[in-house]
Amino acid sequence: MTDITAQHFSNRELSLMAFHWRVLAQAERSDIPLLERLRFLCISSSNMDEFFEIRVGGLKERLEAGIDAPGADGLGPAETLQEIAIRAHQLVNHQYSLLNDRLLPALLREGIRIVRREQWTEGQRRWLQAYFEDEVLPLLSPMGLDPAHPFPRILNKSLNFIVQLEGKDAFGRKSGMAVVPVPRSLPEMIRLPIRVGGRRYLTFVFMSSVIHEYLDGLFHGITSRAAYQFRVTRNSDLFVDEEEAEDLRRAIEGELVYRQYGDEVRLEVAENCPDDMVDFLLNQFEMTRTDLYRVDGPVNLNRLTQLIELASRPDLKFTPFTARLPKPVRKKDSIFTAIRKQDILFHHPFDSFRTIIDFLWAAARDSKVLAIKQTLYRTGPSSAIVDALVAAAKAGKEVTVVIELRARFDEEANVALSARLQEVGIHVVYGVVGYKTHAKMILVSRRENRNLRNYVHLGTGNYHPQTTRIYTDYGLLSANQELGEDVYRLFLQLTSLGKISKMTHLQHAPFTLHKGLLKRIDQEIKAARQGQPARIIGKMNGLYEERVTRKLYEASQAGVQIDLIVRGICQLKPGIPGVSENIRVRSVLGRFLEHTRVFYFSNAPHGGEIWASSADWMERNMFHRVESAFPILNRHMKDRVLRELEYYLRDNCEAWELQPNGAYLLCEPGKHKERFSAQDQLLGELSGKP
């Protein structure tokens, strides 16, 4: 066997940066509707925000703590941060050149324009000034800077102006500078009325442009000589000492305030901001030029998301579709009758998530249902799922919810949700100290013929009705007795703190999932060494766990054929002679965010195994979270999942292939080959098209 060294592993953060580049590339594609291309640009901007808040913030924390140990790839935090800075500056420059040189001109050709201040007509100026005075001015709070008024604390990711002033204030003091925060309650963009904007165009103005134009109205008797947008990104990773916290909910509520004022990790400023002003800001935030990002356009591209909705141009968006109802639930039988007859497999968003909501509402209303248990990680601000649980509790059923308060960037929503659930008598459990509860499970216990029958739902994605329309995920409804017992035992462990008894079907982290995965890879290795065909297909969001990566290298060297569909981070390098020449890795980016975690092993008993899971092949999922992986037991359903996996392996227009050097290349159909998109194929099957 070839020795595995640091050169055979990719760096986690740099692999994630490569994913951000692939997302941005979607905004360049002429075969994607124009407003969807703009949306991909905004997504890439939002992704970079989170990258700096969490990944860069975490690396800087490690450096400050004196932790500079390298990862499996050989890079320590300092070297990783240096490389991130190079790639991040390149990506940001590309974002703005793409906006200015391609997307804005394309929008103008379609009759959608964003007018700059210097382009406003006299009529537009009158309308916007009146709008400013009536709707904006009362909300602004300028803060002058002098010895009595030091530089203010700036909220994380808030938009601000640094303003140069000239003149004396009411107290005779010479004015120098001020900071004007832009209130988050204001809209990002304003659509001008047709009579002002012109009938030929849909005309928009940035709110920041309006504030910039009329800043003088904030400083009576003083002139604002110049103003420049700036924005600070802060370390936003929450730290809660769960061993010391007597009340986890209250501890997290306290930490949410800190998130707004964590350590600074990035400064964005308008490109025309003079050097002395930039140096002043860098000094205030104790940052270096490496942390500085000058941008040629609006600071925070994500503000353009509002234009996509305000434009009201469905012809420039993806064609709407109607998700299908699986055959078993199309009949007039009750949902419980349908599940008893057979397991029901869902592939969202192609299969409607409405069935899962109906399942919960049926449980809430059914007099035979005695208890409901559910995990909640992300649910959204307004959720039919939560409404059903509340209705069940009000109907007198025993309802238990395991809610993960530490779901990143959903902590505040989940804290509020836990309070709402407790108000109606729902038993709320916050999971296990030190482990995020990431498993996606529902257990409904129903009295039937003097016996209790368990109905379960297991999924790869969150119970969030909005994201189920844009994320791909698998889900399973089942009345299988053994599976129901497994889910019951896992809930028992989460709520009672006792040890878990042996499972029949489920694999669960942090106990059996990692061992089970390595065992199944070993099965394929054994078969390959005996001269039998051996194959693994894995589809996931991320692969970053050293022992799994090493085991996959071992499998490749034994002759196992391995196909991995990894959307984001991938620690493994495929196609290296003598190491990974039997491994192929691709990332698929299309209309929907690929979120399914599903795995195929060809040499398991009964003609191979298909597993779906809430967990990626990541260290955090295997050892620091409560996760569940469930087998697809029905032969026809296994065949369906395997067929759909093959779609993703055939994709030749939305797939990126990972190269041995860590670069990704976009697949192309090539001569004499038809274009094939996995997502288009699955959408086509909704309407009966081949």
Report, as residue numbers or ranges, the catalytic residues. 438
Strands 609-613 and 625-631: antiparallel
Provide the token pair at 474: 């698998």
Geometric angle at alpha carbon 127, from 125 and 132, rounded to 5°: 90
Taking each helix axis from N to C end, the angle separating 411-423 and 248-259, rounded to the nearest 10 degrees, works out to 150
Measured from the Cβ of residue 440, the count of other Cβ atoms closer than 10 Å reads: 24
Alpha-carbon distance 570 to 580, whole Å? 14
Helix/strand/coil percentages in the chain, nearest 5: 40, 25, 35
Provide the token pair at 304: 């353009």
Measured from the Cβ of residue 529, the count of other Cβ atoms closer than 10 Å reads: 12
Alpha-carbon distance 535 to 524, whole Å? 7
Alpha-carbon distance 297 to 573, whole Å? 37
- Give which of 460, 467, 475 is closest to 621, Cα–Cα: 460
- Give which of 77, 58, 79 is closest to 68, Cα–Cα: 77
Task: Print the SS3 string covering 415-462.
Answer: HHHHHHHHHCCCEEECCECCEEECCCEEEEEEEECCEEEEEEEEECCC
**Which backbone phi and psi does 585 adopt, to 5 degrees?**
-125, 130
Q: Long-range contacts for 52-55 (Cβ within 8 Å, ≥24 apart)?
A: 52/88, 52/233, 52/265, 52/266, 53/156, 53/233, 53/234, 53/235, 53/236, 53/237, 53/265, 54/236, 54/237, 54/408, 55/12, 55/13, 55/16, 55/84
Geometric angle at alpha carbon 164, from 162 and 167, rounded to 5°: 145
Find the Cα–Cα–Cα–Cα dihedral 208, 95, 567, 579, rounded to 10°: -150
Alpha-carbon distance 326 to 347, whole Å? 10
Largest Cα span, the chain: 91
Segments in 145-227 forming alpha helices (H): 194-197, 207-213
- Give which of 315, 44, 319 is closest to 202, Cα–Cα: 315
- Give which of 46, 65, 44, 48 is closest to 56, Cα–Cα: 48
